[in-house]
Chains A and B, each alone.
Chain A
Amino acid sequence: MIQLFPLLLYLLKASFFSTGGLSNITSLQQDLIGRHWATIDDFNHSIAISQVIPGPNGLWVLSLGYLIYGYIGAALALVSVILPPLLVLVIDGIYREVKPHPWVKGALRGISLAIVAILLNVCWSILQRPSFDQRAWLIAGGAFLLMMTRRVNILAILGLAALVGLLVYR
């Protein structure tokens, strides 16, 4: 029997100890599968769905909530997605207080460089997928060039990529 309040707490815990949308997966798997409230298939389906529908990747947890407990589960998941990032207001407040120190500027500059590296790593991890062949390189390169023109809507680019995938890989 699934209890709603503990479910909300598990969702919040996973969100609170994660950075970025998908790093809450492990924590939720341990808690929810361990209690037989969800199956590994629920997780796989939710994550796959988040890849094809619009919105931040982190919304995968809404699908999980729905599969576990219908619309109430999805609503709890939505709460768990919104609450932890609100801490950014506290962090911003702290930053405003300590900002005059030169070391804060240095630290933030260092972090902004690390973020570039983290974004590069996301590209790299996609390039490392076993299904990434020469055709995939062409699609990635084409998407890059279309993006750089700044004239083509991103939805059109991804739609085109879907069409190419349909024609090439089927």
Chain B
Amino acid sequence: MQNLPATSRPSVWKLFFLWGGIGLQSFGGGASTMFLIQQTFIEKYAFITREEFLHFFSLCAFTPGINIVALTILIGRKLGGALGILVSILGLLVPSATITCLCVVLFAMVQHAPVVQAILHGVVPATAGVMFVVGLGFVKPLFERRREEGWPWFLACLLMIAACALAIILFNLSVIPVLLAAALLGIVIFRSQRINPEDVPPISPVAPINREQGGK
């Protein structure tokens, strides 16, 4: 997970506008924000890989507050060090926050209007469709791993997804105990698995360089 070398980093302004674009386009909350982050940084510019994104998001699940802000911090650091973090957060939040403040007075007056209610009726189901695509994005690495690991591991993964989903939906468990249980189960199930050589991070030569870059 080393930061990008200075030469291949996007410029500060570009980073600001990329995040600003994500913030301003992400109608419908977290689902569309995450989709846009995937689309911009993984698919369009290839600044981060899908596996890296998943790794970042796993760390964010432990983090208090808005997960997407934590995700922005990690991606911002990778793309531009400490300055990258600052620029990414400002880019994501300032344009959206400004619009939020401008809308708050206006919206309170019109929100009960039938027209606004009708629009919400259309937008909310579409959000579900968007969220499902985001979920598929997370499942994709599983299918890629199936080729290396074989069907038993793949089925174990699917079973675990199903178990967690049922625990949340049927038994109304809150997210934190489910995440903790999944971590424990993951230790039990996946510890015995042989570690893929490419997954092991190159430790000695890269780490010191990485630390210098992170401090800039």
Q: A residues bordering B, Cβ < 8 Å?
A: 15-21, 23-24, 45-46, 48-59, 62-63, 66-67, 71, 74, 78, 81-89, 91-92, 95-96, 99-100, 102-103, 105-124, 126-127, 129, 131-132, 136-137, 139-148, 150, 153-155, 157-158, 160-166, 168-170
Contact = CB atoms under 8 A, between A and B. Distances in A.
Contact of B63 (A67, A85, A170): A85
Interface in B86-132: 89, 92-93, 95-97, 99-101, 103-104, 107-108, 111, 114-132
Contact of A109 (B24, B108, B169, B186): B186
Q: Which secondary structure dominates where chain A touches chain B?
A: helix
Secondary structure dominating the interface of B: helix
B59 A123 contact: no
Contact of B125 (A78, A95, A96, A143): A143
B130 A143 contact: yes
Nearest to A157: B126
Contacts, number: 354
Given A20-B30, A140-B129, A103 B119 contact: no
A161 B100 contact: no
B123 A132 contact: no
Interface residues of B, number: 103
B201 A18 contact: no
A103 B189 CA distance: 10
